[in-house]
Amino acid sequence: MNDYLALTPDLDDMWDLHGSMRQHLEGIEEQICGLKNGTEDLMQENMQLKNELVSFRRKEKLLQSVLTKIEAEAQQMATGDDAMDDDIYMIGGSQKAATEISAHHEAVSFLTKFFQENVRLNEKARRQGELLAQANREASESATQN
């Protein structure tokens, strides 16, 4: 009988091992919850970025139509299709040209800002995608280790 007791592990050691394993599992569960929350946050931010991108694409189409109209009017001015007296044409044409140039500068400024913002959003979306992929890998690794 004494030989049997010598071979069995100490009950306290078994409980300590059980407690350590339980703490380890709780830690893994907390990590998984954190990864899930982080993933949800990343998905929400990704959705917001997609909405902003859609908005910028709408603005881009609008701006493209404005630029097309400006080009058409500039072409009409260049061909001199106006049926006005030469002096009146020069005055009116100059004012119209100044208005068109001003509109063109505003359009170029808007496009520059638009493309800078688009680059910023694309970079942010790329980083979010990388973080999401990393979180998914970590969650997958944690799940396979358990």
Once rounded to an integer, what is the mean pLDDT over residues 11-38? 83
Tens-digit pLDDT profile for residues 49-102: 888 888 888 888 887 787 787 777 777 776 765 544 444 444 455 666 667 777
Residue 2 placed within a domain:
no
Alpha-carbon span 103 to 66, nearest angstrom: 9
pLDDT at site 2: 56
Residue 3 placed within a domain:
no
Once rounded to an integer, what is the mean pLDDT over residues 116-133? 83
**What torsion, rounded to 10 degrees, do the Cα atoms 129, 135, 136, 139 define?**
180
Burial 120-131 (b: 16+ CB within 10 A, else e): ebeeebeebeeb
Work out how many domains the chain is built from and give that number.
1
pLDDT at site 138: 82
